[in-house]
Amino acid sequence: MNNIIKWGIIGCGKIAHKFAQDLSKVPNAKLYAIASRDFDKAKEFGKKYDVSNYYGNYQDLARDQEVIVIYIATPHPFHHTNTIMCLNHKKAVLCEKPFAMNIDQVKEMISTAKMNNVFLMEALWTYFLPHYQYVIELIETKKYGKIKSLKADFGFEAIFDPNSRLFNKKLGGGSLLDIGIYPLFCALSLIGIPEKIDAKAVLTSTGVDEECMIQLEYKNNINAHLYSTLNKKTDTEAIIELEDANIIICNRFHEPTSVIIESNQQSKKIEFDVDTYGYNFEAIHVQEMLAQNRIESTIMTFEKSLQLISLLDAVRAQIGLYYD
Ligand SMILES: NC(=O)c1ccc[n+]([C@@H]2O[C@H](COP(=O)([O-])OP(=O)(O)OC[C@H]3O[C@@H](n4cnc5c(N)ncnc54)[C@H](OP(=O)(O)O)[C@@H]3O)[C@@H](O)[C@H]2O)c1
């Protein structure tokens, strides 16, 4: 029983429920405590997932001596404050994407993790999924040659509500930070840092981006066309053009899915057997990192998070998307 890792969750919203379900499938993991701004909500969540400790504020969870690692599932603008509070209580942190609202906040989170000598990682769950790891290996080993281009999109139709997390500026609304981060991460993880960024967006009456188009240019004429929208359902695929094949990460490319390889006029579909939402893979990785006494992931490194937030900041500057 000694190697059981006790987890806590901050914020009882949509993603917290999915993560709690997947965490129950992770060996040696126990969802031990849950915190909400509303005690009754935490209690209800706790009962649903057999959690014995529930709190009506986030700080009490951070103070819980038994908790080893905290998953932060609040809206983006609170990631920075919530993470720093947990790190200062010597808790390891897995914080939802986007890591924070800008690079200065991310740098402060990383330096706080280093100062307290505790683990910190951005919950970029796609990176840990079997199909995505498979594609990364194909690209890194150049099995089908070098990348020539990437096209990736993520769109769904959200009902416009100025007070909702998706459209309210104070809650970090907009397509880019919520879903556009996935096509951007796809480009970063598969191709790297671009030489040129060209971004355009359509803003809502609440001043956040309803849709965002990003064109990235790299050396050797490699380019990436990325798109996110809260306005309509899109293919939500990633199409990678290589010298000797096309790789299609099927709908929806950021979550457990299949991969198609088209080469020599033949098409091969590879299925990956995943019976969860897919959040268990990042949680398993966190536990492995903790077992090795690391404060930084070997996959979703601090550097990768800094690169990702730099790209998001650069796109935001171009489309005139500013948050308080
Ligand atoms: N990895 C993924 O697949 C994925 C998917 C969806 C979302 N996310 C990320 O997870 C985060 C949360 O998304 P979500 O869809 O779960 O959001 P949500 O359903 O709105 O839940 C967010 C929770 O944060 C807490 N919160 C704290 N301060 C808040 C405030 N001022 N207003 C509203 N809520 C507040 C609330 O919990 P309490 O009331 O219990 O305190 C709320 O239930 C976002 O950063 C998002 O990018 C990731």
Q: What CA–CA distance (Å, rounded) separates 81 from 95? A: 11
Phi, psi of 290 (to 5 degrees): -65, -40
Q: What CA–CA distance (Å, rounded) separates 11 from 17? A: 10
Kindly list the protein residues whose Cβ atom lies closer than 6 A to any atom of ligand 1: 11-16, 36-38, 41, 73-76, 78, 96-97, 123, 125, 165, 171, 178
For 103-118, what is the mean pLDDT? 98
Q: What CA–CA distance (Å, rounded) separates 183 from 116? A: 33
**pLDDT at position 1 over 60:** no
Pocket test for ligand 1, best of 86, 96, 129 (most atoms within 8 A of CB): 96
Q: What is the pLDDT of residues 138-165, one digit of tens each?
A: 999 999 999 999 999 999 999 999 999 9
- Residue 123 CB neighbour total at 10 angstroms: 24
Q: What is the pLDDT of residues 175-215, one digit of tens each?
A: 999 999 999 999 999 999 999 999 999 999 999 999 999 99
Q: What CA–CA distance (Å, rounded) separates 59 from 256? A: 34
**pLDDT at position 302 over 90:** yes
Q: What CA–CA distance (Å, rounded) separates 180 from 152? A: 9
pLDDT of residue 264: 87
User: For the domain 130-273, what is the CATH superfamily, name and number?
Assistant: Dihydrodipicolinate Reductase; domain 2 (3.30.360.10)
Helix axes 103-116, 79-88, angle to 10 degrees: 10
CA of 75 to the centre of ligand 1 (A): 4
CA of 262 to the centre of ligand 1 (A): 38
- Reading the block at residue 111, the tokens are 């330096």
Residue range(s) occupied by CATH 3.30.360.10 in the chain: 130-273
Confidence of residue 2 (pLDDT cuts 50, 70, 90): low
Sheet holding 209-217, edge to edge: 196-203, 209-217, 223-229, 147-155, 238-242, 246-249, 259-263, 266-270
For 92-115, what is the mean pLDDT? 98
**How high does pLDDT run on average in the chain?**
97
**pLDDT at position 259 over 50:** yes
Residue range(s) occupied by CATH 3.40.50.720 in the chain: 5-124
CATH code of the domain made up of 5-124? 3.40.50.720
Q: What is the pLDDT of residues 21-68, one digit of tens each?
A: 999 999 999 999 999 999 999 999 999 999 989 999 999 999 999 999
Q: What CA–CA distance (Å, rounded) separates 67 from 46? A: 15
- Reading the block at residue 172, the tokens are 């970090």
